[in-house]
Structure formats: structure tokens, C-alpha cells
Amino acid sequence: MAVAIITGASRGFGRALAEALAGRGWDLVLDARSAGPLEEAAAALRRHGGAVTALAGDVADGGHRRELVAAARELGGLDLLVNNAGVLGSVPLAPLGTYSLDDFRAALEVNVVAPLGLVQEALPLLRAAPAGTVVCLSSDAAAEAYGTWGGYGATKAALDQLSAVLAVEEPGLRVWAVDPGGMRTGMLAAAEPDEDLSGVPRPEDVVPAFLLLFDRRPASGRYAAPSLLESASGPVLQDARGEVR
Ligand SMILES: NC(=O)c1ccc[n+]([C@@H]2O[C@H](COP(=O)([O-])OP(=O)(O)OC[C@H]3O[C@@H](n4cnc5c(N)ncnc54)[C@H](OP(=O)(O)O)[C@@H]3O)[C@@H](O)[C@H]2O)c1
């Protein structure tokens, strides 16, 4: 059975993706810092019949990252690593002129250093898998200059570049950085406390874009979920630069 590690799977997008993969028969290794919500999510996911290992911890902790990969090894290997856990940095969002450098460093640890650490830990298993895949959750704030989104956006831009270079260095893997578009989650609510988010897609509305990637396995690159969903009925995929794959 295929095995995936999904970080940050107790709620939001990570949880929705875990639900979809569990429904497709995947075995899962999941984490989040708060044990209670993570265990609740894992219990619900186990109803699909697959193995679900839930390890509470912080992705910024190297020992925890080793535990995640060891758990995948125990399940038989690792086919898919989803670097989903992410933080906003300063909340409320702040302009760069007054941005807390401590908040920025902390966001870099979670959004950039931790995904690279997990990739390094997981590479031997991913290379041995028949179709080893890394997915990193990006954001349009990585590419667009939105006021007060600079700290978070810079971490996601760094993650995009790590993903792009990893793809070059590991041609045997698929490495996709994916901008999911806005999703109605706790993170977006914290970033936009005064906005009415009722019209924003739910994470489960965005998951089919990721399933398309898994099914079609286009070239490594950066993709945006809204265009993936638009292309769903077509025979080709375009990456975020508009290149046809
Ligand atoms: N929502 C959006 O509109 C949007 C748009 C573009 C990109 N994204 C990206 O999509 C990803 C998921 O976002 P989301 O909106 O689903 O976020 P969310 O609702 O805040 O959920 C984040 C998940 O990650 C876990 N997490 C946070 N920090 C962690 C850490 N240091 N170690 C381990 N787990 C941690 C959280 O659980 P604990 O708090 O218990 O640790 C939770 O399970 C993020 O990378 C985000 O940057 C989101």
C-alpha cells in the first residue's frame, strides 16, 4: 500500500488531503503540534481501513522529523511527502518596516528549514519508491507583493526555490510546489480577521487539484490549484508559468 507523510494534518488543508488519500487506500503518517485534535483526526481517518500513525510534534524539531520518517519506514516505505504545516509569522500580519524579526525567524524555521530537513530525512525512502513525490504548499504571496504579507510570502518564495532546485537535483522524483489558492481555514481567518470568508473555497474543494497531480504526474514544477481545476477536463496541464506539460 502507498504511504504518505502529511505534516499539519489535524485541521485545514492537511486534514482534507489526508481524508482523500485515506479514502483511496493510502497509509498515512500525520503530525501537528496539538495532540488532541491530531488524535481526533487520526481516529476518523482510520475508519477508511488504512494504517494511520499520528505523531504529535513540531516540524521544526529534527528529532520529530526523524520519528515521522521512521514511522513511514515501519509502514513499508514512503511514496509521498507533503510539506503542508505552515505558519503566518507575525499575527496580526505586519508591514516589513515593523516586522518582528523573531517572528520571521520562527516562520522560516517552520515554513522553510523544516520542509528541507524532512526532505533530507526522507530522500532515501523517496528514491527507493516506485514513484517518489514531494509536494510543498506554496502561496500566491510567494509571487505577488501584497502589503503585510511580506514575511510569510518570503518564506513561501524560499520554499518554492528549494522545491525547484530539488526537482533539478532529483530527476527521479516528482517535486511540485503548489499554490492552493485561498482556502477557508483557521490560517486565513487569522490573517484576514475582518473579511467575510464565506465565499472562499473550503480545503476539500481544493483537494481535487492535488489528486489530479497524483493521477497525471506532470513534470516537476510550480502549479496553482485554481488552474489545475480549470484544466481538469483537458488533456494537458499548465504550470504556473503557463508552460504546457
Ligand atoms: N488557507 C489558505 O488560504 C492558504 C493559502 C495559501 C497557502 N496555504 C498554505 O497551506 C498550508 C495549510 O494551511 P491551512 O490554511 O490548512 O493552515 P491551518 O488551518 O492553520 O492548519 C495548519 C496545520 O498545521 C499544523 N501546524 C502548524 N505549525 C506546525 C508545526 N510547527 N509543526 C507541526 N504542525 C504544525 C496545525 O496544527 P497545530 O497548530 O496543532 O500544530 C494544523 O494542523 C500552509 O502551508 C499554508 O501556508 C494556505
In the chain (245 residues long), the average pLDDT of successive 10-residue segments reads: 97 98 98 98 98 98 99 98 98 98 99 99 98 98 98 99 98 98 98 98 98 98 97 59 46
Instruction: Give the ligand 1 atom nearest the CA of 88.
Output: 47
DSSP secondary structure code for residue 218 in this structure: P
Closest by CA position to 16, among listed 2, 34, 30: 30
Helices and strands, counts by H and E, the chain:
9, 7
Our mutation pick for probing the ligand 1 site, out of 31, 109, 183, 207, counting the most ligand atoms within 8 A of Cβ, is: 183
Say what the pLDDT of residue 232 is. Answer: 82
Q: What is the distance in A from the centroid of ligand 1 to the CA of 235?
A: 32
Q: What is the distance in A from the centroid of ligand 1 to the CA of 87?
A: 6
What cell numbers appear for 8 in the block?
499539519
Say what the pLDDT of residue 234 is. Answer: 58
12 Cβ below 6 A of ligand 1: yes
DSSP per-residue letters across 27-91: EEEEEES-HHHHHHHHHHHHTTSS-EEEEE--TT-HHHHHHHHHHHHHTT--SEEEE-----SSS
Say what the pLDDT of residue 236 is. Answer: 47
